[in-house]
Amino acid sequence: MSAPLGDTPDDMAAFADEVHAFLDRAAPRLVDEEGVEWGVGQDRITYFGDETPDEAARHVAAARRWQRTRYEAGFGWITGPSEFGGRGLTAIHDLVYDGIEAQYDVPDTGVLSLIGLGMIGPTILAHGTESAKADYLPAMFSGDIIACQLFSEPSAGSDLANVSTRAVRDGDEWVVNGQKVWTSGAQHSQVGLALCRTNPQEPKHKGITALLVDMDSPGVDVRPLRQMSGGSEFNEVFLTDVRVPDSRRLGEVDGGWRVALTTLMNERASVGTEGAGPAARAISFPFLTALLRANGGLDDSSNRRRLAELMANQLAASYLNRQALDHLIAGGQPGPEASVSKLMYSQNIIQATHFASEVIGPRLLADTGVWGTFSWNELLLSTPALRILGGTEDIMKNILAERVLALPKEPSADSTTPFRELRTSGTGS
């Protein structure tokens, strides 16, 4: 790996040259096209796809190969500590790399990076034992291991602290029993970060412990869930007498909620700053303008006003993400403000997709063979999930109200505080 760099202008220029040199050797450049040539190329527009298991496996294999290539060149974990295979550079170096890599035709590594590298990797670094860090972090960031998030349960989705999966101590091991659901990528993962109830006598936030579960352990059963878009990117995971060494515990016993918050804050930041992910091109100004022109709607002042509103919202989201990045560059950690990015991220895609659906009309539902019409169907079927993934919209709004605006807490079913007191307390604590 190359020697660490500083963050002076000359250092950043040298780093950018290094990135370009690596990518020029490793991948072809994308064609730089001005605007959108309507009707040319692939028109598929999706967020959650309808890949077959074989197709998904091929994409995962390509993602892992590309992550290994980046890692061996010193770009697999740019901000990570060197003792675990990282480069030890800053968040701005990470941003520079991402901006340059976007100019090249490389495999999509979202199955590795969004959850595993973006959320669970930082959590292991913050709370893991030295052996867990050494065993998992280099393997994750080199593409050898994919990680998933075993948080949600059938009866504890939005109320995450209400987990019922049990972990009972047995010597130097924990025996885990329970069920998780909506686990993205579990069918491809080698390790999962699980929240388990370890002390039912404590208040629910205080009786949770976080464990790293090897997904090939006896008793782990992954069952894919079919989405209405046709694919199976989410799963149920059943845990039956699964044994987990205590060395794979993150944080303190019964202190798993603090671990979970680390993951969740990185989740909001990862999801909210993803741009628009696979839908970025479709909801861009050039593409939506071309859509209006192709469907005879560009002269409609109402359409032009709505398009301007969409673009203003996307620009506001980009400025917010830039502000969040500046906070990280200054040494800060993702905070509750990341909930704003997550909200805007999902709302921008949903609003743009609904706008396109109205422009296209019935051809969204019946495939007439016209380019750029029925192809929106798959993205539209994905939008309900955007209101849920990374934290539901209602939960995000509560977080912002209570932790950012310091408004009174919303009364909960298990609250012992009288409703009148909650309404008049005037604090968010």
Looking at residue 275, its pLDDT comes to: 52
Mean pLDDT of 119-124: 95
Which of the pair, 110 or 308, is modelled with greater confidence? 308
Task: Write out the catalytic residue numbers.
Answer: 267
Mean pLDDT over the full length of the chain: 85
Q: Which CATH superfamily is domain 9-40+51-146 in?
A: Acyl-CoA dehydrogenase/oxidase, N-terminal domain (1.10.540.10)
User: CB neighbours (10 Å) of residue 155?
Assistant: 11
For the segment 143-155, what is each residue's pLDDT rounded down to a tens digit? 999 999 999 999 8
Percent of the chain with pLDDT over 90: 53
Topology alike, domains 148-254 and 262-424: no
- Domain 148-254, CATH class in plain words: mainly beta
Task: Give residue 88's pLDDT band: very low, low, confident or very high (50, 70, 90).
Answer: very high
pLDDT digits (tens, 9 = 90+) for 189-205: 999 999 999 999 998 88
pLDDT band at 388 (very low <50, low <70, confident <90, very high): confident
SS3 category, 41: coil
Least confident range of 115-129, 207-221, 226-240: 226-240
Domain 262-424, CATH class in plain words: mainly alpha
Confidence (pLDDT) at 26: 97
| pLDDT of 48 | 75
Q: What does the domain layout of the chain look like in residue ranges?
A: 9-40+51-146, 148-254, 262-424
Is residue 233 a contact partner of residue 242, using CB atoms and an 8 Å limit?
A: no
pLDDT for res 36: 65
| DSSP state string for 288-342 | HHHHHHHTT-TT-HHHHHHHHHHHHHHHHHHHHHHHHHHHHHTT----TTHHHHH
| Rounded-to-integer distance, Cα 368 and Cα 16, Å | 46
Q: Are 389 and 271 in contact (CB under 8 A)?
A: yes
Q: What tokens appear for 361 in the block? A: 């009309």
pLDDT tens, residue by residue, 339-385:
777 788 888 999 999 999 999 999 998 899 999 999 898 889 888 88
The pLDDT-based confidence of 51 (bands split at 50, 70, 90) is confident
Give DSSP secondary structure letters for 200-229: TTS-TTTSEEEEEEETTSTTEEEEEE--TT
Q: Please write the tens of the pLDDT for every residue from 147-179.
A: 999 999 998 766 788 899 999 999 999 999 999
Q: Is the pLDDT assigned to residue 420 strictly greater than 50? A: no
